[in-house]
Every structure is written in C-alpha cells, then in structure tokens.
C-alpha cells in the first residue's frame, strides 16, 4: 500500500505570518497522524521561513509514524538530520533562496558528492531518497550512489495532466519501471492533488510513498483536515 506523508510546511508558513504558536505545528502533525496519515514531511530551509530547526526537534519526540526530512545536504542540514535521525531523509538540489523544489538532481555530475552524503546518512540508520526527474541516466546514476529510494519530481505530470493524462504519465511510468529494475524504492511528490493522484497511482501502483503538502493543506481549508486526509488516502487504494 502506498503511504501518504503530509508535508506541513504550509502550516508553519501560516504560523510564522503572525508570530506566536497558532496554528500549533506539533498538534497539526499529531492530528494528521490521528486522521490516518502514515508520515509527516518537513523541509527546513536556512532562513527558517516556514519549518524551524526547533520544530524538527519537537516533532521528532512526538511522532509515531514515519518522519521524513527534505532538504539540500549542506553541512548544517547533514548535522541536523544525523542528529535528529528521522526515518527518512529526502535529498533535494534546491538552493537556499528557492521558493519550492523545481528540479531533480543531476546525479551524473554530483555522483561522488551524493555517494558520500548517502553513506553518511545510512551509517546512522536513516533511509535515503534522492529527488530525481524522469531522465533515465539520472535514475541510473542515483542507483550508483547507494540510495535506498528515489522520489520522482511530479510537477511536469501535474502540469500536463489535464491536457493529455496518458502522455503526461508515460515518462513517469517508464522511469518507475527502470527504478524498480535497479532495485530502488520509489516515492513521488510535487503538485500531486485530488485531481491527479488516483491516476498516477493506478499507473504506478508500486509507489511506496507520496509526499503532499500545498494541495492537501489548501483542500483542508474547504473540507477540513480530517476529511481531506481521508480523501487523499482513498486515491491510493
């Protein structure tokens, strides 16, 4: 069964807009778990404009489901993650000023760097996933890093889904088949929504995890958090 990990960055953005602790990040994370989410994802950035370092530590002490930390593997990020020891770390190639993730890794150019980083995380018992596009060479070289999983960057699928969903999903299915042949676990994330998630899952049913934040939190404004999480989980059956 494909697991749903809820990215709570947007909750932190809302909190930070007013200061204080409303909404309470830890309470929302616990509610997500209580409503059926099988994981919580955060992406702390150097400027702490949404998730803060203190949030990461607070969450680690209370979460009962999978804890996934995303980010660029700077020395500071590596130190944080190896100290917190989440269940999974997802490596993204974002520069510090990026608003959101917008590309997968060039694993060919960054092979040696990623090998070292992957080994460092695995040495302390953290599962590693590398954020990649559907370029087959990038997936092949991701496997050479020793990573446990890759996460497919699904924004192109979401963008073209309404125009031609069969054409939109085709490169992702081919990439997923290649990852499976290479022995890599498979995650997916970015711009997945109630509109397109079920179709992606039907075409790639062996997905191990999807990480969803912006669309899910936006839907929760209309449906409520509990009902929204239930709706997303229905797309993964």
CATH code, 15: 3.20.20.70
* Residues forming the active site: 43, 70, 190
Cα 79 from chain centroid (whole Å): 20
Task: Annotate 139-174 with b (16+ C-beta within 10 A) or e (fewer).
Answer: bbbbbebebbbbbbbbbbbbeebeeeeeebbebbee
Number of domains within the chain: 1
Residues 6+ apart with CB under 8 A from 147: 114, 118, 128, 129, 130, 184
Spatial separation of the C-alpha atoms in residues 128 and 184, rounded to whole Å: 11
How much is the pLDDT for 103? 81
DSSP category for residue 154: -
How would you classify the pairing of strands 209-212 and 3-7? Answer: parallel
Spatial separation of the C-alpha atoms in residues 219 and 197, rounded to whole Å: 14
Judge whether 158 and 193 are in contact, CB under 8 Å: yes
Judge whether 215 and 191 are in contact, CB under 8 Å: yes
Q: What is the pLDDT along the chain (237 residues), one digit of tens a residue?
A: 999 999 999 999 999 999 899 999 999 999 999 999 999 999 999 999 999 999 999 999 999 999 999 999 999 999 999 999 999 999 999 866 655 566 899 999 999 999 999 999 999 999 999 999 999 999 999 999 999 999 999 999 999 999 999 999 999 999 999 999 999 999 999 999 999 999 999 999 999 999 999 999 999 999 999 999 999 999 999
How much is the pLDDT for 94? 80
How much is the pLDDT for 98? 55
SS3 2: coil
85 is in which domain, residue-wise? 3-234
Q: What is the pTM of this model?
A: 0.95
How much is the pLDDT for 99? 54
Which tokens belong to 213? Answer: 């934040």
């Amino acid at each position: 069964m494909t697991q749903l990990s809820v990215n709570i960055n947007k909750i932190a953005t809302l909190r930070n807009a007013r200061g204080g602790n409303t909404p309470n990040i830890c309470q929302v994370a616990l509610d997500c778990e209580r409503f059926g989410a099988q994981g919580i994802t955060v992406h702390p950035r150097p400027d702490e404009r949404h998730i803060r370092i203190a949030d990461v530590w607070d969450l680690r002490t209370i979460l009962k489901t999978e804890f996934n930390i995303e980010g660029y593997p700077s020395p500071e990020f590596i130190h944080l993650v190896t100290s917190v020891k989440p269940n999974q770390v997802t490596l993204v190639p974002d520069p510090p000023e990026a608003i959101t993730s917008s590309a997968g890794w060039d694993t060919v150019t960054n092979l040696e760097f990623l090998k070292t980083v992957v080994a460092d995380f695995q040495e302390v018992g953290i599962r590693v996933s590398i954020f990649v596009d559907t370029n087959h060479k990038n997936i092949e070289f991701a496997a050479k890093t020793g990573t446990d999983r890759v996460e497919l960057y699904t924004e192109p699928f979401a963008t073209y889904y309404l125009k031609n969903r069969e054409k939109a999903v085709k490169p992702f299915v081919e990439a997923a088949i290649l990852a499976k042949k290479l022995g890599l676990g498979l995650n997916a994330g970015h711009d997945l929504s109630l509109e397109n998630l079920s179709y992606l899952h039907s075409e790639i049913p062996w997905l191990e995890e999807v990480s969803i934040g912006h669309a899910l939190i936006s839907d929760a404004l209309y449906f409520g958090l509990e009902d929204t999480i239930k709706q997303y989980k229905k797309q993964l059956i």
